[in-house]
Structure 1
Amino acid sequence: MNKNGKVYLVGAGPGDPGLFTLKGKALLERAEVVIYDYLANPDLLKFCPENCEFIYVGKKGGAHTLPQEEINKLLVKKAMEGKCVVRLKGGDPFLFGRGGEEIEELVKEGIPFEVVSGITSGIAVPAYAGIPVTHRDYTSTLALITGHEAEDKEESKINFKALSKLGTLVFFMGVKNLPYIVENLLKEGKSSDTPCAVIQWGTTPKQKTAQGTLATILEDVKKKGITAPAIIVVGEVVKLRAKFNWFETKPLFGKRILITRTREQASKLRIALEESGAEVCEVPTIEVRPLISDKTLEVMQNLGRYDWIVFTSENGVRYFFETLFKQNLDLRALSKLKIAVIGPATFEAINKFYLKADLVPEKNYTQEGLAEAFKKLDLHGKKVLLVRAKVARELLPESLKAQGAEVNILPIYETLCPEASTAKLKEAFSEKIDAVTFTSSSTVENFFALLKKAGLTLPESLVLASIGPITSETIKKFGYEPTLEAKEYTIPGLVSALIDFFGRG
């Protein structure tokens, strides 16, 4: 056996990837093999190296991809190949996760291992439903119980008589056995008025909660359509949900929103939407590639001849400075230039290089707005370097020339439509989408090109959310009216428009 092989049992947490541990993330970043479960959020796999091997061994509704014995053998096999193996398990490895059985096999074969605890759904899921599992005014006792015992057991080992005397009861994997659980708690003296909640897909945007009492919960669950995976909470603390329900009351909770930005730029919009409670699907409709030519390199070596440099996008800033630094130049090359940017996002992008913009439009963050801002200045005889995409509108350079400026356009990147996004779009539309966001004309054009390739049509109820008037005009060219348009042409403005729109509904 290769002595370098090792297995890490890592708790994936309850579902929200933000609740994953830092140590777990560090291990995924260097994993060679990841063996993961149904309840481990697939977004966590984005932390892994490109050459990482992924093996899905999930168990859903009694259907097992691999029996537990085969999973144990698989862990041993991959470790014996000398691999760094991460066994990614939903929740915590040792809380009804069968982690102990897997370790027994590793110990038997002499495989080194470590355990990284995860946040258990037994505490996190009730918290996301506004239910603290303990509270000094209600109870100081808590029991975590499996609602799904081993099928080969002839008799239940759950002591319902003892449980009926405790404060808060949290059952895992118990939806199928909910009638049995309720029956036995009532039989052993638990009051039929005891508050009860069943929470499906807790800590995720799909979270759904049925609330009632032991007398009503079976009917409440049926009405809500709740199925596995779910957590059952029994106890007086459930009453606090009326005051503490913070997650399900977020303004975009329950909305599934598709974003079309580049993969690199999607995070800012995704974070803002998820913080507002939305479930986010990413389908990048743009792939950005840098453009470097002899002309580009010549411009970089002669920046001192210009009076102004103008950036119209974050991508322009990114690729300009990447190219600048590769030419063994630094920020001193811009020491004589004044800087103009099209809006707040571009302003933030140059700030990362410890630079300040000399000119930013006050409100209208478009070429029109920037052109208007320049009209307040004397540009006669000034040399302007306009850094932009290969294909772009000509309004700004034409306006600057009309003011007497000498304009040199530097195409620093180009945008393409990613082929792989056709399949992603089909997958995204396999479930209901409430809204699609568009942050530029390119995202609109490429989205409709992908839509055609995928053979899809837009549902009438779909909300088309535009970041600004130019993007809205492009949507109209495809025969659709934008449902909403941001008042401020920024990512925060777009998110605010979505919140306002769905808030009215």
Structure 2
Amino acid sequence: METKPRTDKLPDFPEFPPGEVWLAGAGPGDPGLLTLHALHALRSADDIVHDALVDPRILELAGQQAKLIFAGKRGGKPSALQGDINDLLIERARMQRRVLRLKGGDPFVFGRGGEEVLALTRAGVRFRIIPGITSGLAAAALAGIPATMRDTNHAVILMAGSRSADGTSIAEWEKLASVGQPIIVYMPMANLPDIMRAFERGGMARDTPAVVISASTTSEERVIETSLGSAAADAAKHGVSAPAIVIVGAIAAMRRQLLANMVGWP
């Protein structure tokens, strides 16, 4: 008799040795969107250095031996300095701790993960990367917005909505809008009116479809369908705050077509 293949066998996970730092993405919030490798790291780590966007439900999955260390950075609020975070990771690794640096979304998409692994490299500390589902793409998908559609776009722009220190952000936003592709804006809320005006100057019409999504995959999630010209006012009217993303472009209009038969998350 033919034996059925096993469907319950998990993959072999790498050993998490003392003195290493693992940099992992926690995804957009819901624990079900963690990768298996991230879950393995959570259960194995001695120290979990996490940012402000890691959902508390994910931290509850940590092993009993783990020490949780908050190192969050939030725009407009008191935050840990990046240099201090780098030093902390190096210090804990040199203490022969298993250090997990846990970030919301994906650590290499607007997460400063590149800066941290560069500091680890210069310090001679071994590290491993565990990608996560980046929040902008996940929030869009779960709201019924495909990042790309053959009939509308063959590219999508991921953009940070924070201002640069030298004031060049607005000019860059205008250039991105002139490309003519949908834009997913991370961290937009502090500068949303300026961003939308820059997109308009870059060539986007005021009636371009837009969607504002806050606190995706959590009980506080809100999705607001709007337009480029109304996005800032609608977000303010509904009291939207960070964490949030804004999607501007033809793909935003897909939500209306898909919602009728789309099952919500989770």
> Per the shorter chain, which TM-score range?
0.7 to 0.9
SS in 1 for 2:133: coil
Q: Deviations over 1:166-194 (max 9, x none)?
A: 32100100111111111111112111111
2:22 aligned partner: 8
The 3 A distance-change label for structure 1 pair 211 and 116 is same
SS, match of residue 176 in structure 1: helix
Verify: 1:223 aligned to 2:237, yes or no: yes
Q: CA RMSD in A?
A: 2.0
1:124 lines up with 2:138 in the alignment: yes
**Distance in 2 between residues matched to 1:224 and 1:90, nearest whole Å:** 24
Aligned-partner Cα distance in 2 for 1:123–1:103: 24
**Residues 102, 205 of structure 1: alpha-carbon distance in 2 compared, 3 angstrom cutoff:** same
Question: Contact 1:129 / 1:246 at 8 angstroms: preserved in 2?
Answer: no
Q: TM-score, normalised by structure 1?
A: 0.47
Q: Percent identity?
A: 37
CA–CA distance in structure 2, aligned partners of residues 247 and 85 of structure 1: 43
Aligned residues: 249
1:315-354 matches, cutoff 5 A:
none
* Residue aligned with 2:60, SS: helix
Q: CA deviation at 1:223?
A: 2.1
Q: 2:189 aligns with which of 154, 175, 191?
A: 175
Question: 155, 163, 172: which is aligned to 1:158?
Answer: 172
* C-alpha separation in 2, matches of 1:31 and 1:238: 39
Paired amino acid for 2:49: I
Alignment of 1:288-437 (within 5 A): none
Q: Which residue of 2 aligns with 1:186?
A: 200
Deviation at 1:143, TM superposition (A): 0.4
Paired residues of 1:128 and 1:246 also in contact (CA < 8 A):
no
More relative contact order, 1 or 2 (CA 8 Å, 6+ apart): 2
Structure 1 residue 46: Cα displacement = 2.6
Shift of 1:207: 0.9
Structure 2 unaligned residues grouped into runs of 5+:
1-16
Closer, same or farther: CA 206–247 of 1 in aligned 2, 3 Å: farther
Instruction: Evaluate the alpha carbon distance shift between residue 246 and residue 237 of structure 1 in structure 2; reply closer, same or farther with a 3 A threshold.
Output: same
Equivalent in 122, 144, 148 of residue 158 of structure 2: 144
- What's 1:135 paired with? 149
User: In the alignment, is residue 68 of structure 1 matched against residue 82 of structure 2?
Assistant: yes
Residue identity in the other structure for 1:97: G
Are 1:204 and 2:218 an aligned pair? yes
In the alignment, which residue of structure 2 is the partner of 1:83? 97
Pick closer, same or farther for the CA change 1:206–1:57 going to 2, 3 Å.
same
Structure 2 distance, partners of 1:4, 1:31, is 9
* Partners of 2:176 and 2:56 in 1: CA distance: 38
The Cα of 1:246 is off from its aligned counterpart by 7.2
Amino acid at match of 1:217: A
Please report how far the alpha carbon of residue 248 of structure 1 lies from its aligned counterpart in structure 2 after TM superposition: 9.1
Match of 1:214 among 180, 205, 228: 228
Query: Quick check: 1:57–1:64 contact (8 Å CA) kept in 2?
Result: no
**In the TM superposition, what are the counterparts of 1:17-28 in structure 2 within 5 Å?**
17-28=31-42
CA contact (8 A) 2:177 2:203 kept: no
For residues 449-493 of structure 1, give each alpha carbon's deviation from its aligned partner in whole angstroms, at most 9, with x where no partner exists: xxxxxxxxxxxxxxxxxxxxxxxxxxxxxxxxxxxxxxxxxxxxx
Structure 1 residue 66 displacement after superposition:
1.7
The one-character-per-residue Cα deviations of 1:61-82 (angstroms, maximum 9, x if unpaired) are 4223421111111000100000
**1:195 and 2:209 aligned:** yes
- Any conservation in 1 of the 2:180–2:204 contact (CA below 8 Å)? no
Alpha-carbon offset, residue 219 of structure 1: 2.0
Q: Secondary structure at the match of 1:59?
A: coil
* Partners of 2:20 and 2:97 within 8 A in 1: yes
How is 1:398-477 mapped onto 2 (pairs within 5 angstroms)? none
Does the aligned pair in 2 maintain the 1:8–1:86 contact within 8 Å? yes
The answer on whether the counterparts of 1:14 and 1:124 sit within 8 Å (CA) in structure 2 is yes
Stretches of structure 1 that go unaligned for 5 or more consecutive residues are 251-273, 276-505
The alpha carbon displacement at 1:114 in A equals: 0.8
Q: Which amino acid aligns with 1:109?
A: A
How far is 1:247 from its partner?
Answer: 10
Distance 1:24 1:101, change over 3 A: same
Q: Structure 2-normalised TM-score?
A: 0.88
